[in-house]
């Protein structure tokens, strides 16, 4: 699978988002639309960014009873996004229902990936707050295997776990990894992180990069640096 950088457009309004994307005159980056932006602007922003020629990862992390997720995915599939996601913690049954809802009558669908553990979740927090008394790597791999059983295309996991997910689920099973920072950048609120160059070495398929690009003095230069380090 071809590697790519996905820019997390974690803005609060359409105006901010369009102003940011207007900086890219020579590229059409793959972008992620998360909860804040989607809840603020609704489906219209997805349609407009698609009209501009960008691929879109719609990052809403669905997690509900199977029937609700199935119906919600059916709605999202009509937005012509390229990738969407859910929480693997919702169980195999929920993931299968999501896939069914996401698949259009002609058999096509966006890529569907599952969140294993958020990159803000440390093993200590997982054990103490969530009462999951296992090694975090074992939990991530177990969730990834469940996603594969359900028929999903891959998982969201930290770059620190991408390698073990590939070992457990096969090289064709996609890994999408947030928690990316430049070697000389700030860590922020994520605890399981790595650099674009190291993510490439680990073998992940996509990296999701937010503030190191969006908050950079020159976002286009930061994006090109990220592409150079990760894609080559």
pLDDT at 120: 80
Res 190 pLDDT > 70: no
Do the beta carbons of residue 49 and residue 14 sit within 8 Å? no
pTM across the whole model: 0.93
Q: Which domains does the chain have, with CATH numbers?
A: 4-230 (3.20.20.70)
pLDDT at 187: 55
- 148 among known catalytic residues: no
* C-alpha radius of gyration, the chain, whole number: 17
Q: What is the pLDDT of residues 62-76, one digit of tens each?
A: 999 999 999 999 999
Which residue, among 159, 185, 214, 229, has the nearest Cα to 29 in the 3D structure? 214
pLDDT at 122: 86
Q: How many CA atoms lie within 13 A of 129 on its CB side?
A: 8
Distance CA 117, CA 156 (A): 8
Catalytic residue selected from 28, 50, 61, 96? 61
């Amino acid at each position: 699978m071809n590697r790519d950088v996905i820019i997390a457009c974690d803005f609060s309004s359409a105006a901010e988002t369009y102003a940011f994307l207007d900086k890219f005159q020579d590229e059409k980056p793959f972008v992620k639309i998360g909860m804040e932006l989607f809840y603020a602007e609704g489906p219209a922003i997805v349609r407009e960014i698609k009209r501009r020629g960008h691929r879109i990862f719609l990052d809403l992390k669905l997690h509900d009873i199977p029937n609700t997720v199935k119906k919600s995915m059916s709605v999202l599939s009509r937005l012509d996004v390229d990738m969407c996601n859910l929480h693997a913690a919702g169980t195999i049954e929920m993931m299968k229902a999501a896939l069914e809802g996401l698949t259009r009558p002609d058999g096509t669908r966006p890529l569907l990936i599952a969140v294993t553990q958020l990159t803000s979740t440390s093993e200590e927090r997982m054990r103490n707050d969530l009462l999951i008394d296992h090694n975090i790597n074992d939990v991530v791999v177990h969730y990834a295997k469940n996603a594969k059983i359900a028929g999903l295309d891959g998982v969201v996991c930290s770059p620190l776990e991408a390698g073990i997910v590939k070992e457990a689920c096969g090289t064709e099973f996609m890994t999408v990894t947030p928690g990316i920072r430049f070697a000389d950048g700030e860590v922020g609120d994520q605890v399981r992180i790595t650099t674009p160059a190291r993510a490439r070495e680990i073998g992940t398929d996509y990296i999701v990069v937010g503030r190191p690009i969006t908050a950079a003095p020159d976002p286009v230069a930061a994006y090109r640096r990220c592409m150079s380090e990760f894609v080559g």
